[in-house]
């Protein structure tokens, strides 16, 4: 598969997509859904889950894609653990507010880069 991580990152950078939307919209065809469905599915995950309190929206978007592609709970969960582990290693956190430096003043990763990372790790899990 040719990488789509730059496409996903640019969708986030343009400001018309939240992080989860940028991921799932980029992989909507692979997930077997239309682009509007992708946007609607990920509406609630702007600023991470729970408005920066939970997991980065880009990781959530990757999980949505895995579930739609695999249609297998155990496989999707195993692959999600791998994505989260790789993301944590690269960025030092998976929680939105930590990545954005809320409370610390130290931004670990910009949103468009989080989207690119989540896309890269997602593509490692998708069938070729």
Tell me the mean pLDDT in the region 8-24: 96
Give the pTM: 0.94
pLDDT digits (tens, 9 = 90+) for 78-104: 999 999 999 999 999 999 999 999 999
In degrees, to the nearest 5, what angle opens at C-alpha 104 toward C-alphas 102 and 106? Answer: 90
Give the DSSP H or E segment for 55. none
**Closest-CA residue to 122 (of 24, 13, 17):** 24
The pLDDT of residue 26 is above 90: yes
CA distance 23 to 93: 19
User: Can you give the pLDDT at residue 113?
Assistant: 97
- At 95, give phi and psi (nearest 5°): -85, 135
């Amino acid at each position: 598969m040719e990488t789509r991580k730059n496409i996903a990152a640019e969708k986030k950078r343009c400001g018309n997509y939240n992080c989860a939307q940028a991921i799932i919209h980029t992989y909507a065809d692979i997930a077997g859904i239309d682009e509007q469905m992708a946007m609607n599915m990920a509406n609630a995950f702007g600023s991470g889950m729970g408005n920066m309190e939970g997991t980065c929206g880009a990781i959530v978007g990757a999980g949505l894609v895995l579930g739609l592609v695999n249609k297998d709970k155990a496989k999707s969960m195993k692959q999600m653990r791998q994505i989260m582990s790789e993301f944590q290693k690269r960025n030092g956190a998976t929680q939105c507010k930590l990545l954005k430096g809320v409370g610390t003043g130290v931004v670990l990763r910009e949103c468009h880069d989080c989207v690119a990372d989540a896309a890269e790790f997602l593509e490692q899990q998708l069938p070729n």
